Structure 1
């Protein structure tokens, strides 16, 4: 896992940074702090400051639909690990939609049914590919002895809601339908995602509950993108959301996904987890987020509503941490702590 995250560190602070951190140079945090004569990184954990400073120093064009091709092309995936083996294949897509491309990662056989993870990559709903997280998914498969399905879902705005959600749900249902041939224990299937992938994982968990065909044992939501109103109709303090993912980027990503402006009263039903009125019956859920992340308030609020609805929930908030900090600086103490926390939840779910 450390290897793949260090590879991602190079990507995020190099040419691929535009895919996650557009328009962050001269952020409101930096401008406000400089005007007050204070350190713009004073609230950032000391081990994360160098990386934050490097990210803030980069300049990117405004996020627009015209800029998307270049942004997507900037992603440079890290090399695959030697094992476990990765198989590329397509599975049936949603009704009337194209097949879904997945990466199937199967660890060495143990002679017993194995747990499984459906992994959903991030990228603000508008960028990223499964291949960017393949090495990370290989480490998941090896460490947990789990079959991993890494989904290459369709991106927005070309495919707005519900297309991306249905692609990922199709992968979940395919995994459950083929559990026996894959050597998977159907009672130990989890869904996991980071950022936009975390938001999509929450939507898949809701869909799984409502359709009643797959019973998830755990949802792992890493700084999930859950509420289109953040940064649009709901403003955030100036020190929040200035490193790693901005309010501007959030408005663009959600608007592309929803097909209507972020924060609109006309957002399609079921498209925004934070707007879901009924959360009871969802799978046990882990939510991890940094205290300086744009998503911190929405993630804590969603976790609180899960608890109120009787869902087994763990919320891990990291002081001084910004969006995707654990991928960018995996060796930092706070990164190791959040990683250990979600791994503990996943391990407990698989052991139950």
Structure 2
């Protein structure tokens, strides 16, 4: 879509239109332009434009950016509260949402009675290790089938009501009998009249076509506890797909993915970090102050004299917080020794004297050891 295209013009609304007006305009245009019902050559392209315009104007942050900067992404190319989100499944691309809206039943076989309850949805939410350590909250924007605002999810228009389907008599399925060379064959399938629900609506709501739900762009705030691990799931109850004509909503399942950190490697609740020290500090011992995983946290690392390369020094209660507990894991500092390369002449001469003295002492000890040793069987 061209950057010069006016999203408000695409939906046919005023720039001061409220969210409900924008949604109604979107649904009205979507119903007439969807490729399933409109066979005009440009219908698909116009439908995509309407969908893109709604995706921006239905999101408060994107709309504010668009009104101010002319782009949904803001002045820097991305939103200030951007949440990396992927893996929306169970048929929840916009095409499947609209197929459901226009009477389709994505994700279900035609021989199975349609479930009135809304399906669960799932997203993968990426957070940093620091966010996992302190706990955080994120706002996720996503598309779903939501309860219809105009009929409050009932699917009925003025004076309308829900009645048993006359074709299946409220069972949700029909049975057919066919004659074959093997005799009569009986098969059962979802009722085509009511799509397997067993119910139909007299005088259905014009906005939702009697389903009680409409495509919607929504946001949900997720509270993430401190100490969360990759692979754990947080459930936002009733934030999944809306049920048909007031049936229960599904849940939104947020799978947490903790991204790798530049300073720490997480193993369970322990944090491993590499600490580089001068060879002379390793000989004499020293203390170093490290930045911890929590905000403004300082950790004192005591390096004993004679520390060797790759030694591991453990610091209790400085690792990751444990979920629903005051306990913490351990920080493990892996020592990397660096030989100094910036010593001046006097310092180098001092080290040479130390080396000579050590060599002389070692030679004397070796000679004394040889003089004092005796053959185990005496002279030969």
* Structure of greater relative contact order (alpha carbons < 8 Å, 6+ residues apart): 1
Which structure's CA Rg is the greater one?
Answer: 2
Q: Which TM-score band applies after superposition, normalised by the shorter structure?
A: under 0.3
TM-score by length of 2: 0.24
